[in-house]
Amino acid sequence: MRQAIHQISVPTSGKGLVEITRPVRGWVEAQGMSSGLLTIYCRHTSASLLIQENADPDVRTDLESYFEDIAPESRNYVHDTEGPDDMPAHIRTALTSVQLSIPLVQGALALGTWQGIYLFEHRSRPHRREIVLHLLGD
Amino acid sequence: MRQAIHQISVPTSGKGLVEITRPVRGWVEAQGMSSGLLTIYCRHTSASLLIQENADPDVRTDLESYFEDIAPESRNYVHDTEGPDDMPAHIRTALTSVQLSIPLVQGALALGTWQGIYLFEHRSRPHRREIVLHLLGD
Amino acid sequence: MRQAIHQISVPTSGKGLVEITRPVRGWVEAQGMSSGLLTIYCRHTSASLLIQENADPDVRTDLESYFEDIAPESRNYVHDTEGPDDMPAHIRTALTSVQLSIPLVQGALALGTWQGIYLFEHRSRPHRREIVLHLLGD
Protein backbone atom coordinates (compact mmCIF):
# COMPACT_ATOMS: atom_id res chain seq x y z
CA MET A 1 0.00 0.00 0.00
CA ARG A 2 1.34 3.42 -0.89
CA GLN A 3 0.33 7.07 -1.30
CA ALA A 4 0.73 9.64 -4.06
CA ILE A 5 0.01 13.34 -3.71
CA HIS A 6 -0.30 15.98 -6.40
CA GLN A 7 -1.58 19.52 -6.72
CA ILE A 8 -3.23 20.98 -9.81
CA SER A 9 -4.04 24.62 -10.44
CA VAL A 10 -7.30 25.23 -12.29
CA PRO A 11 -7.93 28.57 -14.00
CA THR A 12 -11.53 29.77 -13.91
CA SER A 13 -13.16 32.59 -15.85
CA GLY A 14 -15.84 33.67 -13.40
CA LYS A 15 -18.83 31.83 -11.98
CA GLY A 16 -19.53 28.40 -13.40
CA LEU A 17 -18.63 24.73 -13.60
CA VAL A 18 -15.22 23.73 -15.00
CA GLU A 19 -14.77 20.05 -15.78
CA ILE A 20 -11.57 18.55 -14.35
CA THR A 21 -12.25 14.86 -14.99
CA ARG A 22 -9.51 14.54 -17.61
CA PRO A 23 -6.50 15.93 -15.64
CA VAL A 24 -7.65 14.11 -12.49
CA ARG A 25 -8.06 10.78 -14.28
CA GLY A 26 -4.79 11.29 -16.16
CA TRP A 27 -2.80 11.76 -12.97
CA VAL A 28 -4.54 8.86 -11.21
CA GLU A 29 -3.87 6.45 -14.07
CA ALA A 30 -0.22 7.51 -14.25
CA GLN A 31 0.25 6.26 -10.65
CA GLY A 32 -0.29 2.69 -11.85
CA MET A 33 -2.39 1.51 -8.92
CA SER A 34 -5.09 -1.12 -9.35
CA SER A 35 -7.26 -0.35 -6.34
CA GLY A 36 -7.37 2.56 -3.95
CA LEU A 37 -9.09 5.73 -2.82
CA LEU A 38 -8.74 9.12 -4.50
CA THR A 39 -9.49 12.23 -2.47
CA ILE A 40 -9.88 15.58 -4.24
CA TYR A 41 -9.57 18.63 -2.01
CA CYS A 42 -10.27 22.27 -2.94
CA ARG A 43 -8.22 24.71 -0.84
CA HIS A 44 -10.73 27.58 -1.01
CA THR A 45 -13.89 28.88 0.63
CA SER A 46 -15.50 30.39 -2.46
CA ALA A 47 -15.13 27.50 -4.92
CA SER A 48 -16.20 23.89 -4.46
CA LEU A 49 -16.27 20.43 -6.05
CA LEU A 50 -19.20 18.64 -7.64
CA ILE A 51 -19.89 15.35 -9.37
CA GLN A 52 -22.44 16.07 -12.07
CA GLU A 53 -23.78 14.97 -15.42
CA ASN A 54 -21.18 15.31 -18.16
CA ALA A 55 -23.53 14.80 -21.12
CA ASP A 56 -25.92 17.72 -21.71
CA PRO A 57 -24.32 21.16 -21.07
CA ASP A 58 -27.83 22.46 -20.26
CA VAL A 59 -27.55 20.67 -16.91
CA ARG A 60 -24.64 22.96 -16.03
CA THR A 61 -26.60 26.03 -17.14
CA ASP A 62 -29.52 25.06 -14.91
CA LEU A 63 -27.26 24.27 -11.95
CA GLU A 64 -25.50 27.62 -12.24
CA SER A 65 -28.80 29.46 -12.49
CA TYR A 66 -30.22 27.55 -9.53
CA PHE A 67 -27.29 28.38 -7.23
CA GLU A 68 -27.50 31.99 -8.41
CA ASP A 69 -31.07 32.08 -7.14
CA ILE A 70 -30.71 30.08 -3.96
CA ALA A 71 -27.85 32.23 -2.63
CA PRO A 72 -28.48 35.56 -4.36
CA GLU A 73 -26.18 38.57 -4.42
CA SER A 74 -29.23 40.70 -3.64
CA ARG A 75 -29.59 39.27 -0.12
CA ASN A 76 -28.56 41.57 2.72
CA TYR A 77 -25.17 40.40 4.00
CA VAL A 78 -23.12 41.75 6.91
CA HIS A 79 -19.92 40.58 5.20
CA ASP A 80 -19.87 42.73 2.05
CA THR A 81 -16.39 44.26 1.93
CA GLU A 82 -15.08 41.80 -0.68
CA GLY A 83 -17.87 42.47 -3.18
CA PRO A 84 -21.49 41.37 -3.58
CA ASP A 85 -20.46 37.96 -4.96
CA ASP A 86 -18.26 37.01 -1.99
CA MET A 87 -20.76 36.01 0.70
CA PRO A 88 -22.98 34.12 -1.80
CA ALA A 89 -19.79 32.28 -2.81
CA HIS A 90 -19.21 31.13 0.79
CA ILE A 91 -22.83 29.96 1.04
CA ARG A 92 -22.70 28.05 -2.26
CA THR A 93 -19.48 26.39 -1.06
CA ALA A 94 -21.26 25.36 2.16
CA LEU A 95 -24.21 23.93 0.20
CA THR A 96 -21.91 21.83 -1.97
CA SER A 97 -18.50 20.64 -0.67
CA VAL A 98 -14.74 21.22 -0.93
CA GLN A 99 -13.89 17.52 -0.83
CA LEU A 100 -14.74 14.39 -2.79
CA SER A 101 -13.45 10.83 -2.45
CA ILE A 102 -13.78 8.30 -5.27
CA PRO A 103 -12.75 4.63 -5.09
CA LEU A 104 -10.31 3.26 -7.65
CA VAL A 105 -11.48 -0.16 -8.87
CA GLN A 106 -9.50 -2.38 -11.26
CA GLY A 107 -7.31 0.55 -12.24
CA ALA A 108 -10.14 2.99 -12.99
CA LEU A 109 -12.03 5.60 -10.99
CA ALA A 110 -15.49 4.28 -10.01
CA LEU A 111 -17.22 7.22 -11.76
CA GLY A 112 -20.60 6.32 -13.24
CA THR A 113 -21.18 6.57 -17.00
CA TRP A 114 -22.63 10.07 -16.78
CA GLN A 115 -20.51 11.40 -13.94
CA GLY A 116 -17.94 14.12 -14.47
CA ILE A 117 -15.83 15.88 -11.82
CA TYR A 118 -16.31 19.64 -11.73
CA LEU A 119 -14.75 22.60 -10.01
CA PHE A 120 -17.56 25.02 -9.18
CA GLU A 121 -16.27 28.60 -9.26
CA HIS A 122 -18.51 30.91 -7.22
CA ARG A 123 -16.71 34.25 -7.70
CA SER A 124 -17.39 36.62 -10.62
CA ARG A 125 -13.75 37.32 -11.52
CA PRO A 126 -11.29 34.76 -12.92
CA HIS A 127 -9.24 32.88 -10.31
CA ARG A 128 -6.66 30.13 -10.12
CA ARG A 129 -7.88 27.38 -7.81
CA GLU A 130 -5.55 24.95 -6.06
CA ILE A 131 -6.81 21.38 -5.96
CA VAL A 132 -4.95 18.70 -3.98
CA LEU A 133 -5.14 15.09 -5.20
CA HIS A 134 -4.41 12.33 -2.70
CA LEU A 135 -4.31 8.71 -3.80
CA LEU A 136 -3.92 5.77 -1.47
CA GLY A 137 -3.82 2.18 -2.66
CA ASP A 138 -1.79 -0.54 -4.31
CA MET B 1 -3.14 -2.76 5.94
CA ARG B 2 -5.42 -4.00 3.16
CA GLN B 3 -8.36 -3.01 0.98
CA ALA B 4 -11.70 -4.59 0.18
CA ILE B 5 -14.08 -3.42 -2.55
CA HIS B 6 -17.67 -4.39 -3.16
CA GLN B 7 -20.61 -3.15 -5.20
CA ILE B 8 -24.23 -3.32 -4.16
CA SER B 9 -27.24 -2.63 -6.33
CA VAL B 10 -30.12 -0.91 -4.54
CA PRO B 11 -33.63 -0.99 -6.04
CA THR B 12 -35.69 2.17 -5.50
CA SER B 13 -39.39 2.72 -6.05
CA GLY B 14 -39.42 6.40 -6.94
CA LYS B 15 -38.42 9.48 -4.95
CA GLY B 16 -37.49 8.92 -1.34
CA LEU B 17 -34.97 7.68 1.20
CA VAL B 18 -34.01 3.99 1.22
CA GLU B 19 -32.06 2.81 4.24
CA ILE B 20 -28.94 0.81 3.37
CA THR B 21 -27.31 0.63 6.82
CA ARG B 22 -27.86 -3.11 7.17
CA PRO B 23 -26.27 -4.35 3.91
CA VAL B 24 -23.41 -1.86 4.27
CA ARG B 25 -22.68 -2.85 7.87
CA GLY B 26 -23.04 -6.54 7.02
CA TRP B 27 -20.43 -6.38 4.29
CA VAL B 28 -18.06 -4.27 6.40
CA GLU B 29 -18.23 -6.66 9.35
CA ALA B 30 -17.65 -9.65 7.08
CA GLN B 31 -14.26 -8.19 6.13
CA GLY B 32 -13.03 -8.76 9.68
CA MET B 33 -11.09 -5.53 10.06
CA SER B 34 -10.76 -3.81 13.43
CA SER B 35 -10.00 -0.29 12.30
CA GLY B 36 -10.23 1.45 8.95
CA LEU B 37 -12.11 3.80 6.70
CA LEU B 38 -15.24 2.94 4.73
CA THR B 39 -16.11 5.01 1.67
CA ILE B 40 -19.56 4.69 0.11
CA TYR B 41 -19.85 5.98 -3.45
CA CYS B 42 -23.03 6.44 -5.51
CA ARG B 43 -22.38 6.15 -9.25
CA HIS B 44 -25.24 8.41 -10.34
CA THR B 45 -26.14 12.07 -10.81
CA SER B 46 -29.80 11.85 -9.81
CA ALA B 47 -29.50 9.89 -6.55
CA SER B 48 -27.32 10.65 -3.55
CA LEU B 49 -26.25 9.47 -0.09
CA LEU B 50 -27.31 10.82 3.28
CA ILE B 51 -26.66 10.10 6.94
CA GLN B 52 -29.93 10.79 8.75
CA GLU B 53 -32.02 9.92 11.76
CA ASN B 54 -33.13 6.28 11.73
CA ALA B 55 -35.70 6.52 14.52
CA ASP B 56 -38.82 8.48 13.55
CA PRO B 57 -39.95 7.87 9.92
CA ASP B 58 -41.53 11.35 9.99
CA VAL B 59 -38.03 12.79 9.64
CA ARG B 60 -37.77 11.12 6.25
CA THR B 61 -41.20 12.42 5.23
CA ASP B 62 -40.18 15.99 6.13
CA LEU B 63 -36.83 15.67 4.37
CA GLU B 64 -38.46 14.40 1.19
CA SER B 65 -41.05 17.19 1.29
CA TYR B 66 -38.35 19.80 1.93
CA PHE B 67 -36.22 18.74 -1.04
CA GLU B 68 -39.36 18.63 -3.18
CA ASP B 69 -39.91 22.30 -2.35
CA ILE B 70 -36.34 23.56 -2.50
CA ALA B 71 -35.71 22.14 -5.98
CA PRO B 72 -39.22 22.05 -7.45
CA GLU B 73 -40.28 20.43 -10.71
CA SER B 74 -42.24 23.61 -11.45
CA ARG B 75 -39.08 25.70 -11.89
CA ASN B 76 -38.21 26.65 -15.45
CA TYR B 77 -35.33 24.43 -16.58
CA VAL B 78 -33.43 24.49 -19.88
CA HIS B 79 -32.64 20.78 -19.49
CA ASP B 80 -36.12 19.22 -19.66
CA THR B 81 -35.86 16.45 -22.25
CA GLU B 82 -35.59 13.67 -19.65
CA GLY B 83 -38.77 14.66 -17.80
CA PRO B 84 -39.72 17.32 -15.23
CA ASP B 85 -38.12 15.34 -12.38
CA ASP B 86 -34.68 15.08 -13.99
CA MET B 87 -33.15 18.52 -13.46
CA PRO B 88 -34.50 18.77 -9.88
CA ALA B 89 -32.83 15.38 -9.31
CA HIS B 90 -29.44 16.79 -10.40
CA ILE B 91 -29.90 19.78 -8.10
CA ARG B 92 -30.88 17.65 -5.09
CA THR B 93 -27.82 15.49 -5.73
CA ALA B 94 -25.66 18.64 -5.76
CA LEU B 95 -27.20 19.85 -2.47
CA THR B 96 -26.48 16.53 -0.78
CA SER B 97 -23.57 14.31 -1.91
CA VAL B 98 -22.69 11.13 -3.80
CA GLN B 99 -19.97 10.10 -1.36
CA LEU B 100 -19.65 9.39 2.36
CA SER B 101 -16.70 8.14 4.40
CA ILE B 102 -17.16 6.60 7.84
CA PRO B 103 -14.34 5.46 10.15
CA LEU B 104 -14.30 1.88 11.42
CA VAL B 105 -13.43 1.83 15.12
CA GLN B 106 -12.92 -1.37 17.16
CA GLY B 107 -14.59 -3.42 14.46
CA ALA B 108 -17.69 -1.24 14.13
CA LEU B 109 -18.69 1.70 11.93
CA ALA B 110 -18.50 4.96 13.93
CA LEU B 111 -22.17 5.73 13.24
CA GLY B 112 -23.90 7.61 16.06
CA THR B 113 -26.83 6.03 17.90
CA TRP B 114 -29.43 7.74 15.71
CA GLN B 115 -27.53 7.67 12.43
CA GLY B 116 -28.63 5.53 9.51
CA ILE B 117 -27.15 5.44 6.00
CA TYR B 118 -29.63 6.28 3.26
CA LEU B 119 -29.72 6.25 -0.50
CA PHE B 120 -31.75 9.28 -1.59
CA GLU B 121 -33.57 8.53 -4.84
CA HIS B 122 -34.48 11.75 -6.67
CA ARG B 123 -36.23 10.34 -9.76
CA SER B 124 -39.96 9.52 -9.89
CA ARG B 125 -39.63 6.09 -11.52
CA PRO B 126 -38.05 3.02 -9.91
CA HIS B 127 -34.33 2.58 -10.56
CA ARG B 128 -31.50 0.26 -9.62
CA ARG B 129 -28.65 2.27 -8.11
CA GLU B 130 -25.05 1.07 -8.05
CA ILE B 131 -23.22 1.81 -4.82
CA VAL B 132 -19.49 1.09 -4.48
CA LEU B 133 -18.12 0.21 -1.03
CA HIS B 134 -14.42 0.68 -0.42
CA LEU B 135 -12.85 -0.37 2.86
CA LEU B 136 -9.27 0.29 3.85
CA GLY B 137 -7.80 -0.84 7.14
CA ASP B 138 -6.43 -3.70 9.17
CA MET C 1 1.41 2.87 6.55
CA ARG C 2 -0.54 3.06 9.78
CA GLN C 3 -3.77 4.40 11.30
CA ALA C 4 -4.58 6.55 14.31
CA ILE C 5 -8.07 7.12 15.70
CA HIS C 6 -9.23 9.65 18.26
CA GLN C 7 -12.50 11.08 19.50
CA ILE C 8 -13.05 14.64 20.65
CA SER C 9 -16.10 16.01 22.43
CA VAL C 10 -17.05 19.55 21.42
CA PRO C 11 -19.33 21.62 23.67
CA THR C 12 -21.72 23.94 21.84
CA SER C 13 -23.85 26.76 23.24
CA GLY C 14 -26.79 26.65 20.83
CA LYS C 15 -26.99 27.25 17.09
CA GLY C 16 -23.82 28.41 15.39
CA LEU C 17 -20.37 27.62 14.08
CA VAL C 18 -17.67 26.45 16.51
CA GLU C 19 -14.13 26.40 15.16
CA ILE C 20 -12.30 23.13 15.82
CA THR C 21 -9.23 23.66 13.63
CA ARG C 22 -6.84 23.93 16.58
CA PRO C 23 -7.67 20.68 18.43
CA VAL C 24 -7.91 18.78 15.12
CA ARG C 25 -4.57 20.07 13.88
CA GLY C 26 -2.96 19.52 17.28
CA TRP C 27 -3.95 15.87 17.37
CA VAL C 28 -2.94 15.29 13.74
CA GLU C 29 0.50 16.82 14.23
CA ALA C 30 1.05 14.78 17.39
CA GLN C 31 0.77 11.58 15.28
CA GLY C 32 4.02 12.48 13.52
CA MET C 33 2.98 11.41 10.03
CA SER C 34 4.32 13.18 6.94
CA SER C 35 1.60 12.30 4.44
CA GLY C 36 -1.84 10.82 4.82
CA LEU C 37 -5.57 11.36 4.88
CA LEU C 38 -7.53 12.78 7.79
CA THR C 39 -11.25 12.01 8.02
CA ILE C 40 -13.41 13.96 10.46
CA TYR C 41 -16.74 12.38 11.29
CA CYS C 42 -19.63 13.90 13.27
CA ARG C 43 -21.76 11.25 15.03
CA HIS C 44 -25.00 13.25 15.00
CA THR C 45 -27.96 14.11 12.77
CA SER C 46 -28.52 17.68 13.99
CA ALA C 47 -24.97 19.03 13.82
CA SER C 48 -22.57 18.97 10.86
CA LEU C 49 -19.07 19.88 9.66
CA LEU C 50 -18.04 22.76 7.45
CA ILE C 51 -14.85 24.18 5.98
CA GLN C 52 -15.28 27.95 5.96
CA GLU C 53 -13.46 31.26 6.07
CA ASN C 54 -11.63 31.78 9.35
CA ALA C 55 -10.86 35.48 8.88
CA ASP C 56 -13.92 37.73 9.13
CA PRO C 57 -16.43 36.60 11.82
CA ASP C 58 -19.16 38.30 9.76
CA VAL C 59 -18.98 35.36 7.36
CA ARG C 60 -20.15 33.08 10.17
CA THR C 61 -22.95 35.49 11.09
CA ASP C 62 -24.19 35.51 7.49
CA LEU C 63 -23.91 31.73 7.17
CA GLU C 64 -25.91 31.19 10.36
CA SER C 65 -28.57 33.67 9.25
CA TYR C 66 -28.75 32.07 5.81
CA PHE C 67 -29.31 28.55 7.15
CA GLU C 68 -31.88 29.95 9.59
CA ASP C 69 -33.83 31.24 6.58
CA ILE C 70 -33.37 28.34 4.18
CA ALA C 71 -34.63 25.74 6.69
CA PRO C 72 -36.90 27.81 8.93
CA GLU C 73 -38.49 26.72 12.19
CA SER C 74 -41.74 28.26 10.92
CA ARG C 75 -42.15 25.62 8.19
CA ASN C 76 -44.84 23.01 8.79
CA TYR C 77 -43.13 19.77 9.85
CA VAL C 78 -44.70 16.39 10.58
CA HIS C 79 -41.81 15.57 12.94
CA ASP C 80 -42.24 18.19 15.67
CA THR C 81 -42.16 16.27 18.95
CA GLU C 82 -38.55 17.21 19.72
CA GLY C 83 -39.10 20.96 19.40
CA PRO C 84 -39.38 23.43 16.52
CA ASP C 85 -35.59 23.49 15.99
CA ASP C 86 -35.23 19.71 15.53
CA MET C 87 -36.46 19.12 11.99
CA PRO C 88 -34.69 22.24 10.65
CA ALA C 89 -31.55 20.82 12.29
CA HIS C 90 -31.88 17.57 10.31
CA ILE C 91 -32.37 19.53 7.08
CA ARG C 92 -29.36 21.77 7.70
CA THR C 93 -27.29 18.66 8.39
CA ALA C 94 -28.46 17.19 5.07
CA LEU C 95 -27.58 20.41 3.21
CA THR C 96 -24.06 20.42 4.63
CA SER C 97 -22.33 17.15 5.68
CA VAL C 98 -21.31 15.04 8.68
CA GLN C 99 -17.96 14.05 7.17
CA LEU C 100 -14.87 15.78 5.79
CA SER C 101 -11.58 14.34 4.54
CA ILE C 102 -8.44 16.47 4.27
CA PRO C 103 -5.10 15.29 2.86
CA LEU C 104 -1.98 15.59 5.00
CA VAL C 105 0.91 16.92 2.88
CA GLN C 106 4.49 17.29 4.17
CA GLY C 107 3.33 16.97 7.75
CA ALA C 108 0.56 19.59 7.52
CA LEU C 109 -3.15 19.49 6.71
CA ALA C 110 -3.78 20.78 3.17
CA LEU C 111 -6.14 23.51 4.44
CA GLY C 112 -6.03 26.69 2.36
CA THR C 113 -4.90 29.97 3.92
CA TRP C 114 -8.43 31.08 4.76
CA GLN C 115 -9.90 27.69 5.58
CA GLY C 116 -10.96 26.76 9.09
CA ILE C 117 -12.74 23.57 10.22
CA TYR C 118 -16.06 24.19 11.94
CA LEU C 119 -18.65 22.18 13.81
CA PHE C 120 -22.05 23.58 12.84
CA GLU C 121 -24.48 23.20 15.75
CA HIS C 122 -28.09 23.26 14.52
CA ARG C 123 -29.97 22.86 17.83
CA SER C 124 -30.96 25.78 20.06
CA ARG C 125 -29.80 24.27 23.35
CA PRO C 126 -26.16 23.53 24.29
CA HIS C 127 -24.91 20.05 23.38
CA ARG C 128 -21.75 17.99 23.54
CA ARG C 129 -20.91 16.68 20.07
CA GLU C 130 -18.75 13.61 19.46
CA ILE C 131 -16.33 13.95 16.58
CA VAL C 132 -14.25 10.99 15.41
CA LEU C 133 -10.83 11.69 13.87
CA HIS C 134 -9.32 9.00 11.65
CA LEU C 135 -5.83 9.42 10.23
CA LEU C 136 -4.23 7.07 7.75
CA GLY C 137 -0.72 7.56 6.42
CA ASP C 138 2.98 7.28 7.12
What phi-psi label fits residue A16: left (phi over 0), alpha (psi between -120 and 50 degrees) or beta? left
| Number of B–C residue contacts, CB under 8 Å | 83
Q: Tell me how far CA of residue C73 lies from CA of C76, C85, C102, in angstroms.
A: 8, 6, 33
Strand ranges for chain A from DSSP E: 2-13, 16-19, 36-42, 47-53, 99-105, 108-109, 115-121, 126-137
Give the tens place of pLDDT for each residue, B68-121: 999 999 999 999 989 999 999 999 999 999 999 999 999 999 999 999 999 999
Q: Which of A56, A70, A102 sits opposite B41 (nearest CB)?
A: A102
Give the tens place of pLDDT for each residue, A75-125: 999 999 899 999 999 999 999 999 999 999 999 999 999 999 999 999 999
Burial of B50 (0-12, 13-18, 19+ CB in 10 A): buried
SS3 A65: helix
Q: Which of C37, C43, C70 sits opposite B112 (nearest CB)?
A: C43
| Number of A–B residue contacts, CB under 8 Å | 83
Number of domains, chain B: 1
Domain that holds residue B61: 2-137
Q: Do residue B79 and residue A66 have CB atoms under 8 angstroms apart?
A: no
Q: Tell me how far CA of residue B10 lies from CA of A110, B35, B93, in angstroms.
A: 16, 26, 17
Looking at the complex, report in whole angstroms how far the Cα of residue B76 sits from the nearest Cα belonging to chain C: 20
Q: State the pTM of this model.
A: 0.98
Looking at the complex, report in whole angstroms how far the Cα of residue C80 sits from the nearest Cα belonging to chain A: 24
Q: Do residue B87 and residue A62 have CB atoms under 8 angstroms apart?
A: yes
The verdict on A62 touching B (C-beta cutoff 8 Å) is: yes
Asked if C110 and A43 count as a contact pair (C-beta separation under 8 A), the reply is yes
Mean pLDDT of chain B: 97
| CATH code of the domain in which C40 resides | 2.60.120.460
Q: Tell me how far CA of residue C116 lies from CA of A45, C21, C49, in angstroms.
A: 9, 6, 11
Q: Tell me how far CA of residue C50 lies from CA of B19, B137, C18, in angstroms.
A: 25, 26, 10
Beta bridge partners of B49: B119
Q: Tell me how far CA of residue B131 lies from CA of A33, B23, C20, C35, in angstroms.
A: 21, 11, 32, 28
**Reported ipTM exceeds the 0.90 cut:** yes
Give the tens place of pLDDT for each residue, C61-107: 999 999 999 999 999 999 998 999 999 999 999 999 999 999 999 99
The verdict on C108 touching A (C-beta cutoff 8 Å) is: no
- C interface test, pick of A79, A85, A101, A130 with most C CB neighbours within 10 Å: A79
- A interface test, pick of C33, C61, C66, C95 with most A CB neighbours within 10 Å: C66
